[in-house]
Structure 1
Amino acid sequence: MTPTDIFGYAGAAASVVAALVIVRAAWHIKTAEVWRGEAEAQKTRADRLQDDMSEIKDRLTRIEAENRRLVELITTLDPSRIRSGISP
């Protein structure tokens, strides 16, 4: 085997290794981009759910206050109905 053959094989091997390194790096970059996009989508979803949860809590607080007020009104009108569970 002559030095020219050795350099020819070494050059081909180096090209293959370089191509594999580039493919692997590109795969890692694409994977990172996909995960970054997924993380952003999940954060957007979590923010939307947090807003929905806050709205539900506010509505529940208003409903509980309204129910307390209704119970007060009914109790002052006819307290026996509240205790006995009789409906009108």
Structure 2
Amino acid sequence: MTPADLFGYSGTAASVTAALVMVRATWQINTAGVWKGEAEAQKTRADRLQSDMDEIKERLARVEAQNERLVTLLTSLDPAQLSHLHV
């Protein structure tokens, strides 16, 4: 094997190695992009669910306040009626 052959094989090996490195880097970049997209979708979903939860909490607070007012009104009219509510 002459030095020219050795350089030729080395050049081919370097080209194949560089191609494999490029393929791997591209795959990693694409994988990272997919995971980034998935993370963004999950964050959007979590934000929407948090917004829904906040709305539910606000509604519950209003219902509890209205319920408290109704119990107060009921007991002021006929305290005996309250005993039926707290069985």
TM-score, shorter chain, exceeding 0.5? yes
Question: 2:54 — aligned with what?
Answer: 54
Mapped to 2, the partners of 1:11 and 1:66 lie a distance apart of: 82
2:5 matches 1:5: yes
Q: If the length of structure 2 is used for normalisation, what is the TM-score?
A: 0.91
Q: Which digits, 9 at most, give the CA deviation of each residue in 1:1-60, with x for residues without a partner?
A: 112211121111011100111011101101110111011101101110111011001100
Mapped to 1, the partners of 2:17 and 2:70 lie a distance apart of: 78
Mapped to 2, the partners of 1:62 and 1:30 lie a distance apart of: 48
- Whose RCO is larger (CA < 8 A, sep 6+)? 2
2:34 matches 1:34: yes
Mapped to 2, the partners of 1:35 and 1:74 lie a distance apart of: 57
2:22 matches 1:22: yes
Higher mean alpha-carbon deviation, 73-82 vs 44-53, is at: 73-82
**Structure 1: where are the runs of 5+ without partners?**
none
Secondary structure, counterpart of 1:9 in structure 2: helix
Aligned residues: 85
Question: 1:64 — aligned with what?
Answer: 64
1:11 partner amino acid = G
1:35 partner amino acid = W
Mapped to 1, the partners of 2:2 and 2:51 lie a distance apart of: 74
2:78 partner amino acid = D
Mapped to 2, the partners of 1:8 and 1:65 lie a distance apart of: 85
